């Protein structure tokens, strides 16, 4: 179904395809071109149609296997080939993961995401991660993992142990992808997402902006995500964290308002998804984050650390949410 929408009074008409399944890159790019206030107004309106206004989900990350990764993702401090000062470690023991999950729950997180710096897990790794997933789930937390590429069998094994979400990002538009990663192709990412979906695990899939891509390529990423059928339940939008030693360190910084626009376009094209304001919040500052919430972001990574890099202190985040009159997922009793 294609609907012609008069964007807002006083602005030019914008032809928007609202077929839940098809967003052309051009239609996503047209949203980016809207006057800033009109874009945010529209995103906030849609947000309120589908979610309780002012309710934010808190997700805590834990790196269960840090560094030493064989891949060449140009943004990533955990790739073995770059000299970033991140030391390679082994898979954490189960007890350490459970202790971190208990602390996250205590602090108010509702979802716990376990990340590993792997290209793909080995069979023996999956067994260990399965035990972690079951133990975290038993604490009453939603479970998420991000372990690299997954086979069909591995996805089913993770589902069996109680995995609710799997995070695997498309990262950027297909046209820009080869400038960022050469050790695996776009289609392999789509294949993993297919295995996850097929296994009945909810999909967490987003990308990174600020890597030197064009606006059209940002629109291309969002269109790819929105055209996944169905689109992801969770959409993490990362602002590149520039880490010394990675090839993308020193990239031209993105205008923060362009980041806000990206959140708004994600909200409009994927109205029922949890849009997560992800990496890079420390660098964005409070005012830009407030605009992101206005643009429809309703989830954050919560806790003093992302995987290897810094995140705002949990206490500072609680203060920010209070200052903005935002409630957490737990306060509002919602679990989706």
The residue from 73, 111, 281, 292 that is catalytic is 73
Active site residue 204: yes
Residues 120 to 179 in contact with ligand SF4, rule: CB under 6 A: 148
Overall residue count recorded for the chain in this entry: 336
Each residue 55-74 as x (binds ligand DTB by CB under 6 A) or -, in order, gives ------x-------------
Active site residue 205: no
The residue from 69, 111, 189, 267 that is catalytic is 69
Cis link prior to 230 (omega < 30° from 0)?
yes
CB of 68 closer than 8 Å to CB of 78:
yes
- When asked if residue 117 is in the footprint of ligand SF4 (CB under 6 A), the reply is yes
What's the closest the beta carbon of residue 121 comes to ligand SAM, in angstroms? 10
Find the binder of ligand DTB among 17, 130, 161, 308 (CB under 6 A): 308
Round to whole Å and give the CA distance between 13 and 5: 6
Find the binder of ligand DTB among 295, 306, 314, 326 (CB under 6 A): 306
Active site residue 156: no
Active site residue 292: no
Residue 21's binding partner out of ligand SF4, ligand SAM, ligand DTB, none, with CB under 5 to 8 Å set by partner kind: none
- When asked if residue 278 is in the footprint of ligand DTB (CB under 6 A), the reply is yes
Round to whole Å and give the CA distance between 210 and 251: 8
- When asked if residue 73 is in the footprint of ligand SF4 (CB under 6 A), the reply is yes
Residue 168's binding partner out of ligand SF4, ligand DTB, ligand SAM, none, with CB under 5 to 8 Å set by partner kind: ligand SAM
Round to whole Å and give the CA distance between 56 and 326: 7
Is the C-alpha dihedral spanning 117, 216, 194, 61 positive or negative?
Answer: positive
Backbone angles phi, psi at 106, to 5 degrees: -55, -40
Round to whole Å and give the CA distance between 101 and 107: 10
231's torsion region: left (phi>0), alpha (psi -120 to 50) or beta?
A: beta
How many C-beta neighbours within 10 Å does residue 324 have? 14
Residue 125's binding partner out of ligand SF4, ligand DTB, ligand SAM, none, with CB under 5 to 8 Å set by partner kind: none
Each residue 128-157 as x (binds ligand DTB by CB under 6 A) or -, in order, gives ------------------x-----------
Alpha-carbon distance values, 90 to 31, 52, 59, 93, 116 (Å): 44, 41, 23, 9, 10
Round to whole Å and give the CA distance between 177 and 137: 34
- When asked if residue 307 is in the footprint of ligand DTB (CB under 6 A), the reply is yes
- Token pair of 247 as six digits: 């090839």
Residues in the site for ligand SAM, rule: CB under 6 A? 75-76, 115, 117-118, 146, 148, 168-169, 171, 208, 238, 240-241, 243, 279, 307
- 78 or 269: whose CB is closer to ligand SF4? 78
- 151 or 309: whose CB is closer to ligand DTB? 309
Round to whole Å and give the CA distance between 324 and 321: 5
CB of 85 closer than 8 Å to CB of 245:
yes
Active site residue 113: yes
- Give one DSSP letter per residue of 70-121, joined into a string: ----TT-TTBTTS--SPPP-PPPPHHHHHHHHHHHHHTT-SEEEEEE--SS-
Residue 171's binding partner out of ligand DTB, ligand SF4, ligand SAM, none, with CB under 5 to 8 Å set by partner kind: ligand SAM
User: Helix, strand, coil: what percent of the chain each, to 5?
Assistant: 40, 20, 45
- When asked if residue 115 is in the footprint of ligand DTB (CB under 6 A), the reply is yes
- 73 or 266: whose CB is closer to ligand SF4? 73
Q: Give residues in contact with ligand SF4 (CB under 6 A).
A: 69, 71, 73, 76, 78-79, 117, 119, 148
Residues serving a catalytic function are 69, 73, 76, 113, 144, 204, 276
């Amino acid at each position: 179904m294609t609907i012609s929408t008069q964007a807002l009074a006083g602005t030019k008409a914008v032809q928007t395809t609202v077929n839940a399944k098809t967003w052309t890159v051009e239609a996503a790019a047209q949203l980016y071109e809207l006057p800033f206030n009109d874009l945010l107004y529209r995103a906030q309106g849609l947000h309120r149609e589908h979610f309780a206004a002012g309710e934010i989900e808190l997700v805590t990350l834990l790196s269960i296997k840090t560094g030493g990764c064989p891949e060449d993702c140009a943004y990533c401090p955990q790739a073995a080939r770059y000299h970033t000062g991140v030391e390679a470690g082994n898979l954490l023991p189960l007890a350490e993961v459970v202790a971190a999950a208990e602390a996250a729950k205590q602090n108010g997180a509702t979802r716990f995401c376990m990340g590993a710096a792997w290209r793909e897990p080995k069979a023996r790794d999956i067994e260990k991660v399965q035990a972690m997933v079951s133990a975290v789930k038993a604490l009453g937390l939603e479970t998420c993992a991000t372990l690299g590429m997954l086979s069909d069998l591995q996805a089913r094994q993770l589902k069996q142990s109680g995995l609710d979400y799997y995070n695997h990002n498309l990262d950027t538009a297909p046209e820009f992808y080869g400038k960022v990663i050469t050790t695996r192709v776009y289609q392999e990412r789509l294949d993993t997402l297919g295995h996850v979906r097929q296994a009945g695990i909810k999909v967490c899939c987003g990308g990174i902006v600020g890597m030197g891509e064009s606006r059209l390529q940002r629109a291309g990423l969002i269109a790819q995500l929105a055209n996944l059928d169905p689109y992801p339940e969770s959409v993490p939008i990362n602002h590149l964290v520039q880490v010394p030693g990675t090839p993308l360190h020193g990239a031209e910084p993105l205008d923060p308002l362009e980041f806000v626009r990206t959140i708004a376009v994600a909200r409009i094209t994927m109205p029922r998804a949890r849009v997560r304001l992800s990496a890079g919040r420390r660098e964005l500052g409070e005012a830009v984050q407030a605009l992101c919430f206005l643009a429809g972001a309703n989830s954050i990574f919560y806790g003093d650390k992302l995987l290897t890099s810094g995140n705002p202190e949990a206490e500072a985040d609680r203060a920010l949410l209070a200052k903005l009159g935002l409630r957490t997922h737990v306060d509002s009793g919602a679990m989706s």
